[in-house]
């Protein structure tokens, strides 16, 4: 079998593996809640709150090519709230019910599904995707609803209606490139390959900030459309440019196409992939040997299973009890952390005696620091988008024997560029 045919088959096999992974799905009868917050008096009934139960919506991809991200996100949401419900609910009193809607990672679908449930929920726990979140923002502002973006765009840092977690994409890109420069030096050829949308633009902002700080040039910038079936031309241009390192902003199905094409063309740069490019299915796919040789994933936190980290110990215990079929997965961990963030918000609102939409917005302005117990760095929330996100990332290499296929290489990577990047509110 020739190299072209063999690597073409590998790429197809990897995409198929991702599709099979996406079929797992998350249950739609989810529950949640939890904590020990004090109360200034029982909150009055409000949209999504009947006096005993708080309803939160998720708008996440549960079908289509990005379901490999959406399904474990929702499973992480569910696991957090299942455990807290078992402990009594928010402030020990109020159970949480999740209302799950499939946004398919599409902006129009997100808006439609939001309008279907907005009158029946207190807040939106999760909105998957940068473009879907941007499309929804005008209505969130008008309806005075708090939402949690399941994306890391820097726009969210200054947005009063959003409850973001984690280090923004701009920092992932800057810190990943800085780590490569520290390891390999500046006398290399640096390139980018990014999704042609606002997610890819965020990555480019980070790369450009680090390139300016380090005094290097980006040799070529290639882009692709979501679900593009053929990226041969872009990969050939990267190869002709002699790229030693390529910063990659993609989601898993597109990453499978890109990496499969690169392997077929015998192009093996150091891929510096942002976290959304990865899924554990890659570690079990025919692409695994290629990825072991070439790829880093820039994410956050620690090694899955490191129970010296308090948050990891608790998450693993919760996963074993409430989601025993769940495999190690960075998106599950993200969804679990979103549950922690919203519990802190809801308990602040209960403490103030107000679970109305205005009450949640006021509680978000006073929330302060949320500690994620080492799963990700703390995030400080304040009035009118006065917030302090983490500026650090972790670098993972690919190891099929490691949980989720990721082996921790470096923690707390913070480049000078990441220290200096500032953000504006979304348009």
pLDDT in tens, the chain (427 residues): 333 344 444 454 554 445 444 433 334 333 333 344 444 679 999 999 999 999 999 999 999 999 999 999 999 999 999 999 999 999 999 999 999 999 999 999 999 999 999 999 999 999 999 999 999 999 999 999 999 999 999 999 999 999 999 999 999 999 999 999 999 999 999 999 999 999 999 999 999 999 999 999 999 999 999 989 999 999 999 999 999 999 999 999 999 999 999 999 999 999 999 999 999 999 999 999 999 999 999 999 999 999 999 999 999 999 999 999 999 999 999 999 999 999 999 999 999 999 999 999 999 999 999 999 999 999 999 987 789 999 999 999 999 999 999 999 999 999 999 999 999 888 7
Confidence (pLDDT) at 37: 41
- Count other Cβ atoms within 10 Å, centred on residue 308: 9
Q: Which of 113, 121, 111 is nearest to 144 (CA)?
A: 121
Instruction: Please tell me whether residues 202 and 323 are part of one structural domain.
Output: no
Residue 23, in any domain of the structure = no
Instruction: Please tell me whether residues 287 and 410 are part of one structural domain.
Output: yes
Instruction: Please tell me whether residues 273 and 373 are part of one structural domain.
Output: no
Residue 199, in any domain of the structure = yes
Q: Which residue is it, tokens 């473009």?
A: 131
Confidence (pLDDT) at 386: 85
Instruction: Please tell me whether residues 295 and 311 are part of one structural domain.
Output: no
Q: Are 158 and 137 in contact (CB under 8 A)?
A: no
Confidence (pLDDT) at 18: 56
Residue 22, in any domain of the structure = no
Residue 21, in any domain of the structure = no
Q: In terms of C-beta density within 10 A (0-12 exposed, 13-18 middle, 19 or more buried), how is residue 313 classed?
A: middle
Number of domains in the chain: 2
Residue 27, in any domain of the structure = no
Instruction: Please tell me whether residues 196 and 220 are part of one structural domain.
Output: yes
The CA distance from 248 to 113, in Å, is 30
State both tokens at 57. 């919506």
The CA distance from 254 to 276, in Å, is 11
Instruction: Please tell me whether residues 180 and 265 are part of one structural domain.
Output: yes
Instruction: Please tell me whether residues 74 and 131 are part of one structural domain.
Output: yes
Instruction: Please tell me whether residues 272 and 415 are part of one structural domain.
Output: yes
Instruction: Please tell me whether residues 308 and 173 are part of one structural domain.
Output: no
The CA distance from 213 to 203, in Å, is 16
Which positions ≥6 away from 324 have C-beta within 8 Å?
none
Q: Which of 17, 6, 12 is nearest to 279 (CA)?
A: 17
Residue 376, in any domain of the structure = yes
Confidence (pLDDT) at 427: 78
Instruction: Please tell me whether residues 178 and 280 are part of one structural domain.
Output: yes
Confidence (pLDDT) at 40: 61
The CA distance from 25 to 63, in Å, is 8
Pairing between β-strand 190-195 and β-strand 245-249 as defined by DSSP bridges: parallel
The CA-based diameter of the chain, rounded to the nearest angstrom, is 72
Confidence (pLDDT) at 6: 45
Pairing between β-strand 95-102 and β-strand 53-60 as defined by DSSP bridges: parallel
Confidence (pLDDT) at 132: 97
State the residue range of the domain holding 257: 3-14+169-299+393-420
The CA distance from 5 to 264, in Å, is 8
Instruction: Please tell me whether residues 214 and 244 are part of one structural domain.
Output: yes
Residue 68, in any domain of the structure = yes
Residue 28, in any domain of the structure = no
- Please give the C-alpha separations between residue 186 and each of 59, 65, 209, 214, 244, in angstroms, as whole numbers: 42, 36, 15, 8, 11
CATH of the domain at 224: 3.40.50.2300
The CA distance from 194 to 180, in Å, is 18
Instruction: Please tell me whether residues 371 and 403 are part of one structural domain.
Output: no
């Amino acid at each position: 079998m020739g190299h072209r045919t063999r690597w073409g088959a590998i790429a197809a096999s990897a995409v198929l593996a991702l599709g099979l992974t996406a079929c797992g799905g998350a249950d739609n009868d989810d529950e949640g809640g939890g904590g020990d917050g004090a109360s200034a008096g029982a909150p009055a009934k409000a949209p999504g709150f009947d006096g005993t139960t708080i309803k939160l919506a998720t708008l996440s991809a549960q079908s289509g090519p990005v379901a490999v991200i959406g399904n474990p996100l929702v499973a992480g949401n569910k696991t957090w709230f299942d455990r807290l419900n078992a402990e009594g609910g928010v402030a020990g009193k109020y159970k949480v019910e999740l209302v799950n809607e499939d946004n398919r990672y599409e902006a129009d679908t997100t808006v439609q599904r939001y309008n279907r449930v907005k009158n029946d929920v207190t807040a939106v726990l999760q909105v998957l995707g940068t473009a879907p979140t941007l499309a929804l923002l005008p209505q969130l502002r008008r309806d005075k609803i708090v939402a949690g973006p399941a994306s890391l765009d820097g726009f969210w840092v200054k947005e009063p209606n959003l409850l973001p977690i984690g280090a923004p994409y701009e920092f992932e890109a800057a810190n990943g490139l800085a780590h490569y420069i520290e390891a390999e030096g500046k006398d290399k050829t640096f390139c980018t390959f990014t999704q042609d949308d606002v997610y890819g633009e965020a990555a480019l902002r980070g790369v450009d900030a680090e390139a300016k700080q380090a005094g290097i040039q980006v040799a070529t910038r290639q882009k692709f459309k979501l679900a593009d079936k053929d990226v041969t031309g872009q990969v050939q241009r990267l190869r002709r440019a002699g790229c030693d390192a390529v910063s990659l902003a993609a989601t898993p199905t597109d990453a499978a196409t890109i990496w499969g094409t690169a392997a077929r063309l015998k192009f093996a740069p150091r891929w510096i992939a942002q976290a959304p490019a990865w899924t554990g299915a890659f570690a079990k796919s025919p692409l695994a040997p290629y990825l072991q040789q070439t790829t880093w994933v820039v994410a956050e936190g620690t090694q899955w299973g490191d129970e010296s980290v308090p948050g990891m110990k608790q998450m693993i215990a919760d996963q074993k009890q409430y989601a025993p079929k769940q495999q190690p997965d960075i998106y599950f961990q993200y969804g679990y952390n979103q549950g922690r963030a919203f519990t802190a918000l809801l308990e602040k609102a209960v403490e103030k005696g107000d679970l109305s939409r205005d009450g949640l917005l006021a509680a978000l302005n006073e929330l302060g620091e949320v500690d994620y117990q080492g799963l990700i760095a703390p995030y400080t929330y304040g009035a009118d988008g006065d917030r302090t996100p983490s500026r650090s990332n972790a670098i993972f290499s690919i190891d099929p024997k490691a949980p989720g296929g990721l082996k921790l290489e470096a923690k707390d990577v913070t480049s000078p560029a990441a220290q200096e990047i500032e953000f504006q509110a979304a348009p």
